[in-house]
Amino acid sequence: MGRKERAKERREKRLQEISLLRTIPYSNHQRWCCVVHDQSSLLYMWIVSCKLEFWGIWFVRDLRWWSSETVAVVTGGNRGIGFETVRQLADHGLTVILTSRESSTGLEAANVLKELGLSVDFHQLDVLDSLSIKKFAEWIEQTYGGIDVLVNNAGVNYNLGADNSVEHAQNVVATNYYGTKNVTQSLIPLMRPSAVGARIVNVSSRLGRLNGRRNRLEDKDLREKLANLETLSEELIDRTVSTFLQQVEEGTYTSGGWPQMFTDYSVSKLAVNAFTRLMAKMLSDRPDGQKIYINCYCPGWVKTAMTGWAGNVSVEDGADTGVWLALLPDQTITGKFFAERREVNF
């Protein structure tokens, strides 16, 4: 069996494990998932799930920290991974605010979920528009008083391979990175005090990894600066994406050492990953009761409109890790990158 076949087999087995974990109520399996996910035997997984389901009442305390009063925001929630994230969070009993740039599609999506009996609200939000973000934050404060969970899902991608344009590059970086950054910074003041901490989850991608074997940033010095929390700064991240966009305008980006696959998207997610680590550091000194934990994750190659429906991961599995991170009990994990409920290197 070749390397690709073995990798595919491992991925399929992991997705089977996750699907099995998802059959167990979150309040029962949360404490165990860090142990279970390192086991390779599906039989073992089945035994553990049976124990938790039938005997859990005897030895696992209820780890459900949320209620219908818990408010989550999901950006870009009108379709794909965002819509599924809204559905799963609401299905777990949270009140979820679904946002989208277009009011008509957002309202339609929210109404579909409301008809299922889920607690879903809608508000228009264009992550590219600072005034839209400001109005959204004001509405949240007036309507709910604050939020407990933020999932930054809104994102776009245009280019395939080496195909590119200035307009597309600017829009991808503005939406995926600056949109995530601006929404996060605007909503942090509205994140409510909590004994378990508020949570921010950024939807990212392995394509934005600094040290991947393929499709990585070739500038070693820049990689090291972005990887080092002592040298990482918002200015450095902004300067990195600005340099990339300038080279796109000049037509020199292909020789600039940038990722070669889905270049715009990869650079934007590299910035999201760096921003996640930076914010974790900046938020780390908040006192108990006011903690905010921020992580990012890769949903995989999901079968959505963004991938041209060519993905090999369902939207249910694609949203799973984000929901898992949002609902972890006694959360102390922050500034990390996950895929399939496992921590992976940046």
Residue 206 and residue 158 share a domain = yes
Q: Are residues 10 and 113 in the same domain?
A: no
Please identify every residue annotated as catalytic: 265
Given 64, 79, 95, which residue is the final one in a domain? Answer: 64
User: Looking at the structure, do residues 201 and 285 belong to the same domain, yes or no?
Assistant: yes
CB 204 within 8 A of CB 274: no
Is residue 50 predicted with pLDDT exceeding 60?
Answer: no
Quick one: 6 and 96 in the same domain?
Answer: no
What confidence score (pLDDT) does residue 10 get? 72
Does residue 103 sit in the same domain as residue 159? yes
> What residue type is 27 in one-letter code?
S
pTM of the shown model: 0.85
pLDDT recorded at residue 31 = 39
Last residue of a domain, one of 42, 64, 86: 64
Write out pLDDT tens, residues 259-309: 988 999 999 999 999 999 999 999 999 999 999 999 999 997 665 655 555
Dump pLDDT digits (tens) for 82-105: 999 999 999 999 999 999 999 999
What is the spatial distance between Cα 184 and Cα 119, in angstroms, rounded to a whole number?
23
Which residue did the predictor score with more confidence, 63 or 285? 285
Range of the domain at 308: 65-344
The tally of domains found in the chain comes to 2
Question: The CATH number of the domain where 235 resides is what?
Answer: 3.40.50.720
pLDDT of residue 34 exceeding 80, the answer is no
Is residue 41 located within the same domain as residue 75?
Answer: no
d(CA 281, CA 121): 32
φ and ψ at residue 298, rounded to 5 degrees: -105, 120
The answer to whether residues 153 and 136 belong to one domain is yes
Identify the band that residue 32 occupies on the pLDDT scale cut at 50, 70 and 90. very low
- pLDDT at residue 28 greater than cutoff 70: no
CA-CA distance, 239 to 176, in Å (whole number)?
A: 16
Tell me the pLDDT band of 37, cut-offs 50, 70 and 90.
Answer: very low
**Residue-level pLDDT at 198:** 97
Residue at which a domain ends, from 49, 64, 79 = 64
Q: What pLDDT does residue 306 have?
A: 59
In 3D space, the residue among 159, 172, 166, 184 whose CA is nearest the CA of residue 75 turns out to be 184
Half-sphere exposure of 55 (CA within 13 A, CB side): 6
68, 119 contact by CB (below 8 A): yes
Q: How confident is the model at residue 41 (pLDDT cuts 50, 70, 90)?
A: very low
One domain for residues 201 and 163: yes
pLDDT recorded at residue 63: 79
Q: Quick one: pLDDT at residue 212?
A: 78
pLDDT, one tens digit per residue, over 148-201 is 999 999 999 986 655 689 999 999 999 999 999 999 999 999 999 999 999 999
- Interval 230-261: pLDDT, tens: 999 999 999 999 999 999 999 999 899 999 88
Q: Are 333 and 293 in contact (CB under 8 A)?
A: yes
pLDDT 10s digits, 108-146: 999 999 999 999 999 999 999 999 999 999 999 999 999
Give CA–CA dist 56/147, Å, rounded. Answer: 31
Summarize the confidence of residues 62-89 as an average pLDDT.
95
Residue 38, pLDDT above cutoff 70: no
For residues 146 and 286, state if they share a domain. Answer: yes
Stronger pLDDT, 262 or 18, i.e. the higher one = 262
Per DSSP, the residues of 16-53 read HHHHHHTTS-HHHHGGGHHHHTT---HHHHHHHHHHHH
Residues 120 and 35 in one domain: no
Asked if residue 233 and residue 214 are part of one domain, the reply reads yes
**Looking at the structure, do residues 126 and 185 belong to the same domain, yes or no?**
yes
